[in-house]
Amino acid sequence: MSERIHAPKVGAPDPEHRCSPIVEETSEDFDVAGMEAVEAPVCYFNGKVYADGAYVCSGDELLRCARGVWLREGTCDPDNP
């Protein structure tokens, strides 16, 4: 996935800064987190704003912003896609 190459490395979520929820798309938490985010057009990670559809790497985890929540999309490790 080409997004992996360009996804900024953001580190671990910092509780001192605003972060959108990180959920599994198939998780029960997805609906709850989606309601909490009120389908926002952006996501937050450690206080920084990311557009809907943006990708970031948190550790080795690839996350995609979707309507105000982060969805787990896989790994950021190019040797282990």
Q: H or E segment at 30?
A: helix 28-37
Does 56 reside within a domain? yes
Domain that holds residue 19: 2-75
pLDDT at position 28 is: 58
Higher pLDDT, 72 or 1: 72
Does 38 reside within a domain? yes
Q: What is the pLDDT of residues 60-73, one digit of tens each?
A: 999 999 999 999 99
Q: H or E segment at 57?
A: strand 55-58
Does 80 reside within a domain? no
pLDDT at position 57 is: 96
The pLDDT confidence band at residue 6, using thresholds 50, 70 and 90, is: confident
Q: What is the pLDDT of residues 10-50, one digit of tens each?
A: 999 999 999 999 998 765 555 554 455 467 889 999 999 99
Query: Domain tally for the chain?
Result: 1
Does 81 reside within a domain? no
